[in-house]
Every structure is written in structure tokens, then in C-alpha cells.
Amino acid sequence: KSFTRAADAIGGTQAAISLKIKRLEETLGRKLLERTPRRVTLSAHGQMFVASARHLLDNYQQAMNCFGKQKRTLRVGVSHHIVGADLTLWLRRMANTDPEVIVAFSLGTSRDMLESYEQGKLDVALVLRHDNRRQDGEVIGAARFSWMAAQDFELLPGEPLPLAIQPAPCGMRSMVMAALQTQNRPWEEVFVGSGILAIGAAVAAGIGIGAMVERMAAHGCVDVEQRIDLPPLPSREIVLYTAQRDAQAQALISALSADISNS
């Protein structure tokens, strides 16, 4: 009943669907749709034609599935700063949303995930906006970073801040350096690891302090910003990149991005 909704459902454009309907009507020599400013309905000829059209599509689908139905693969890349210990819950939610879709899942830095998306290696990228190079994408939430440490962590007076941090180049590392510079705060690397899971493990082990989204921290870790008098860390936008607009992909993307705004 709407060219716009039809376009959304099949991942096309309103103009393309209008053109296809026009060509079909010209081929049949019949007017299939009645159009008004408010809605689109089947004409009398359209009502006659739609039953045969559905039968034709059913036969086509049976022919295509005669060797067994092939599952669709959706290639998804997510920043490791967004999902960590709750990855199991995310994957279960996506699997339960549509068992007929295989999710090819990648976890890495926002920079790497965005580059993979730009190169056509991913269908969906969910990343932190780490620079001003791209200002497009759909902002679906924000991640607030905190200074996390083991509950029994103590910093002696005059000691440099012991950091568990990622190697350069890294947007999060730059963010941490900029924040500490506002206080002229001395610091030292005590652990360097690739990925927030490694950083989180070092923080939980009491090796050092790490900057991360609080829900990503391991059990027993606490925010020590006030206790150690550390500068506040900024929030970062969580951005979704995808060109997949069909209903099946959108359902999976909705499951993927659920609860992100509460980060």
C-alpha cells in the first residue's frame, strides 16, 4: 500500500519500484494499481493478477531451493570497545533473531572495522567515531569511558600512573594521553596489549589502570577517577555503517545494536 514501504522491505528505491510497476503494466496492457496521494491499492485487474503472480513466485522459489535452501551470510564487524564480556549474549540474540542467517563476525579496532567496511569486506560495521575523517553513518548511542582498576588497587603518592594501554596508533590511546596532559599527570606503561579484553584482564589482575567502558570491565573492577583524582574521559559516538536495508538484515542489525544507547 506504499511504494516507500515496499522499497524499504526489499532494499530498493521508490523510483525503481515505480518504474518496474509501470513496465509490468505496459507489458500486460492493464492498470494494476490505483494511486492516490494517501495510499496505493490494487485495481480490479491487479486483484486478478496478484494471485497468479504469487503462484509464479512460489514456483520460482521452489525451483531455486530444489538442491536445498542456502543460508544468507551477513558479514558484521564490531569495535572491541563496544562488546566484550557480553559477546556471548549478543551472538545468542542474533542467532535467535534469524536462524536462517549465518553471521560472519569480526571483532577489532574501530579503525580496522571501518576500513574493512569501506573495502567491501563487511556488510555492517559498528564502531566508535575515532576521528573526523568520516561524519556519516547512523549514530545509535554513545560510549562513556571511565578509569577502571582492580578494587584493591592502590597508588602511592608521587608514583606515575601505571597504565594498561593499547599500542599506537590507537584512538583510545590518544584520548587517554590528551586527558592526562590536561593535568600534566606523569604516567608509565606497565602493560601493552591489543584489544580491550587483554587490557581488561591486566586491569583485573591489578597490573595497572585502564580506560574502558565500565560495563566492559571484569568483575571486581571499579571506577577510580574520583579516588585517584584523574581527569574525566570524553564520551565517543557509536556509529552504525551499513547499506543493507532489507527487512531481514534490518532485524539482525536491530538485535545487534540493542541496548547500545545504555553504554
Phi, psi angles (nearest 5°) of residue 129: -75, 110
pLDDT in tens, 69-115: 677 888 989 888 887 656 777 778 777 888 888 888 888 888 888 88
Mean pLDDT value of segment 150-179: 85
Q: Is 38 helix (H, G, I), strand (E, B) or coil?
A: coil
Q: How many Å is the maximal CA-CA distance in the chain?
A: 87
Provide DSSP, 86-143.
Answer: THHHHHHHHHHH-TTEEEEEEEE-HHHHHHHHHTTS-SEEEEE--SSS---SEEEEEE
Tell me, what's the pLDDT at 129? Answer: 81
Out of 50-54, 140-144, 160-164, pick the least confident: 140-144
Q: Are residues 82 and 128 in contact, defined by beta-carbon separation less than 8 angstroms?
A: yes
Element (H, E) at 34: strand 33-35
CA 177 to chain centre: 27
Q: State the DSSP code for 199.
A: H
Element (H, E) at 187: strand 187-192
Cα 59 to Cα 65: distance, rounded to the nearest angstrom: 10
Given this model, what pLDDT does residue 23 score? 92
Residue 140 phi, psi (nearest 5): -115, 0
Question: Does pLDDT of 8 surpass 70?
Answer: yes
Average pLDDT, the chain: 83
Q: Lowest mean pLDDT of 86-95, 122-131, 142-151, 245-254, name the range.
A: 86-95
Domains and CATH numbers, the chain: 3-64 (1.10.10.10), 72-141+237-262 (3.40.190.10), 144-236 (3.40.190.10)
Provide the pLDDT for residue 85.
59
Distance from C-alpha of 145 to C-alpha of 157, rounded to nearest angstrom: 25
Question: Closest Cα to residue 180, out of 127, 218, 233?
Answer: 233
Least confident of 56-60, 112-116, 140-144, 168-172: 168-172
* For residues 22-34, average pLDDT: 91
What does the alpha-carbon distance between residue 28 and residue 8 come to, in Å, rounded to a whole number?
26
What is the pLDDT confidence band of residue 26, given thresholds at 50, 70 and 90?
very high
What confidence score (pLDDT) does residue 200 get?
A: 84
Q: What is the tens place of the pLDDT at every residue in 114-124?
A: 888 888 899 98
